[in-house]
């Protein structure tokens, strides 16, 4: 597979997020984020690590942009740390050092002809907003998020034209409010990592405020920036593919419920102005409703693109009629997710739990999003292969990663050829980095990072990507 099999304007890039790479957690007037605080709590991160330093990208960003330049990417997907730009949320000043940091990144990208593809929220927020009013559980967050979005559009929008308002809100909600495994570490589900309080509605409330925060940011962009800056705004969603465990009507329905409870819950409101009917059917009035005014705001803000983060495919079993709820269920969806059937895995296992190599899943998910959302433009905003932690000598020859990308890209090029409006593909990740719950135990990078010396070394996959992206391959198309 080579880039000539994709349309000439198709963007290829790499992706990162601020908390996972920046470090510098107290540098440049930044305040503590919810993830700073959470990762410092004992027992939350598997290897007992934190991201105080991480890849030290805060200090080494130029070197990292140089690595991207060597790869020959068209675009770079990264996120802005809210706690750097507005350390006190809307209760304090805009931090000029934070603005300067991201300005430097954006300018360094542009002189190398790399397009910035910016995420406003990749899970992290100033801890102050958690302490003061409970972040996503309060409608007050809309004011803060809207203000943060506006500050970013104003400061960077003259050069940034791709805005992902949220990254994987579905992961944020499931981990943060159902399982308690991400901040704020709340459980509304009997199988979570903390004691089960009387809080079964919290995920629905938090999502409601998050979706309305998106709508607020979109409204601000459409009203004040769209015409002048001409950018696209979208959402990025964690989007596995699901296959029925048994070819039974119950399991096939369970697949539809999984897609609704995991993906459409967050995307339907931003396209159709309401939650998915499949969810309403199960939840009735436990699911909040949008007022006429909110619905109007949602519809006017409408997404310009949907970002699909795709890594894995899982089997889905129905639990509505047989009881099988576990941590691998999607809350109230009455489903059970697994990668295993009859002693065999759905695809090759990777170092990441539940991440299996199933290239056909790319076709499944892209086709689902295309059909459900009338071929709204899409980007594959993440796709990547997890290696276990290991010494450099065992990590550089990552032929499995190369194979993974080749196979997923081959399927993607077919789906695009068949008419899916996918406009770009980002490899997760440029660098090995802080992998949330797993700390430094799992490596997704095209570049190996020695977390002692911070030295970056290209893996074989970096060389492969460079070759894949080469001009010769671009020309082969014609």
Pick between residue 120 and residue 220 the one whose CB is nearest to ligand GCO: 120
CB of 352 to ligand GCO, least distance (A): 6
Pick between residue 213 and residue 238 the one whose CB is nearest to ligand GCO: 238
Token pair belonging to 257:
């419920």
- What separation, in Å, do the N-terminal and C-terminal C-alpha atoms of the chain show? 15
Residue entry with tokens 């919290």: 202
Q: Which of 22, 130, 168, 278 is catalytic?
A: 168
Indicate if 382 belongs to the active site: yes
Q: What residues does 407 pair with on adjacent strands?
A: none
Contact 133, 141 (CB under 8 A): yes
Pick between residue 220 and residue 308 the one whose CB is nearest to ligand GCO: 308
Pick between residue 142 and residue 387 the one whose CB is nearest to ligand GCO: 387
Contact 431, 449 (CB under 8 A): yes
CB of 164 to ligand GCO, least distance (A): 10
* Residues engaged in binding ligand GCO (CB under 6 A): 17, 20, 122, 167-168, 171, 309, 352, 382, 428, 435, 444
Contacts of 466 (CB under 8 A, 6+ apart): 70, 71, 72
Pick between residue 84 and residue 317 the one whose CB is nearest to ligand GCO: 84
Q: What's the rounded Cα separation, in Å, for the pair 219 and 225?
A: 10
Residue nearest to ligand GCO (CB): 168
CB atoms within 10 A of CB 37: 16
Pick between residue 167 and residue 213 the one whose CB is nearest to ligand GCO: 167
Contact 427, 462 (CB under 8 A): no
Closest by CA to 97, choosing from 49, 155, 168, 140, is 155
Indicate if 406 belongs to the active site: no
What is each CA distance from 369 to 201, 267, 426, in whole angstroms? 27, 10, 18
What H or E segment, with its residue span, contains residue 422? Answer: strand 422-428
What H or E segment, with its residue span, contains residue 408? Answer: helix 399-417
CB of 246 to ligand GCO, least distance (A): 28
Residue entry with tokens 């001009």: 471
What H or E segment, with its residue span, contains residue 306? Answer: strand 305-309
Per-residue burial over 150-183, b = 16 or more CB atoms within 10 Å of its CB, e = otherwise: bbbbebbbebbebbbbbbbbbbbbbbbbbbbbbb
Pick between residue 3 and residue 310 the one whose CB is nearest to ligand GCO: 310
CB of 84 to ligand GCO, least distance (A): 18
Q: What's the rounded Cα separation, in Å, for the pair 234 and 218?
A: 9
CB of 289 to ligand GCO, least distance (A): 28
Cα angle for residues 379, 380, 384 (degrees, 5° grid): 160
CB of 408 to ligand GCO, least distance (A): 14
Contacts of 450 (CB under 8 A, 6+ apart): 392, 457
CB of 444 to ligand GCO, least distance (A): 6
Q: Which of 130, 243, 294, 382 is catalytic?
A: 382
Q: What residues does 345 pair with on adjacent strands?
A: 340
Token pair belonging to 309:
């983060």
Contact 75, 10 (CB under 8 A): no
Pick between residue 17 and residue 50 the one whose CB is nearest to ligand GCO: 17
CB of 198 to ligand GCO, least distance (A): 29
Query: Catalytic site residues?
Result: 168, 382
């Amino acid at each position: 597979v080579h880039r000539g099999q994709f349309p000439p304007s198709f963007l290829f890039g790499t992706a990162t997020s601020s908390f996972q790479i920046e470090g510098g957690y107290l540098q440049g007037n930044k305040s503590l984020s919810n993830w700073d605080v959470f990762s410092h709590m004992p027992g939350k991160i598997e290897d007992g690590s934190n991201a105080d330093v991480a890849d030290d990208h805060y200090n080494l960003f130029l070197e990292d942009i140089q690595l991207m330049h060597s790869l020959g990417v068209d675009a770079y997907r990264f996120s802005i740390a809210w706690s750097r730009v507005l350390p006190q949320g809307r209760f304090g000043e805009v931090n000029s050092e934070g603005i300067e940091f991201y300005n430097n990144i954006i300018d360094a990208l542009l002189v190398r002809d790399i397009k910035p593809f910016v995420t406003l929220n990749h899970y992290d927020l100033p801890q102050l907003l958690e302490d003061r009013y409970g972040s996503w559980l309060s409608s007050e967050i809309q004011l803060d998020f809207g203000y943060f979005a506006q500050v970013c559009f104003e400061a960077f929008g003259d050069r940034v034209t791709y805005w992902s308002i949220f990254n994987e809100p579905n992961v944020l909600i499931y981990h943060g409010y159902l399982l308690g495994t991400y901040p704020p570490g709340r459980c509304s589900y009997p199988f979570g990592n903390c004691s089960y309080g009387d809080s079964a509605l919290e995920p629905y409330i938090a999502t409601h405020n998050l979706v309305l925060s998106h709508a607020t940011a979109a409204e601000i962009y459409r009203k004040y920036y769209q015409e002048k800056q001409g950018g696209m705004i979208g959402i990025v969603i964690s989007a596995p593919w699901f296959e029925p465990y048994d070819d039974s009507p119950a399991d096939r329905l369970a697949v539809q419920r999984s897609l609704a409870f995991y993906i459409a819950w967050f995307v339907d409101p931003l396209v159709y102005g309401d939650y998915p009917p499949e969810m309403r059917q199960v939840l009735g009035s436990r699911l909040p409703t949008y007022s006429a005014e909110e619905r109007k705001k949602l519809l006017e803000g409408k997404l310009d693109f949907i970002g699909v983060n795709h890594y894995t495919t899982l089997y889905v079993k129905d639990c509505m009629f047989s009881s099988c709820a576990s941590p691998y269920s999607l809350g109230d969806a009455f489903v059970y997710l697994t990668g295993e059937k009859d002693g065999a895995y759905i695809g090759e296992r990777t170092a990441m739990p539940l991440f299996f190599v199933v290239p056909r899943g790319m076709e499944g998910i892209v086709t689902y999003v295309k059909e459900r959302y009338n071929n709204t433009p899409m980007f594959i905003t993440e796709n990547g292969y997890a290696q276990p932690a290991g010494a450099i000598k065992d990590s550089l020859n990552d032929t499995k990663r190369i194979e993974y990308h080749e196979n997923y890209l081959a399927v993607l090029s077919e789906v695009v050829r068949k008419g899916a409006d996918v406009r770009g593909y980002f490899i997760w990740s440029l660098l090995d980095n802080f992998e949330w719950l797993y700390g430094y135990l799992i490596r997704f990078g095209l570049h190996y990072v020695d977390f002692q010396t911070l030295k970056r070394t290209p893996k074989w996959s970096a060389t492969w990507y460079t070759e894949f992206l080469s001009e010769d391959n671009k020309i082969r198309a014609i």
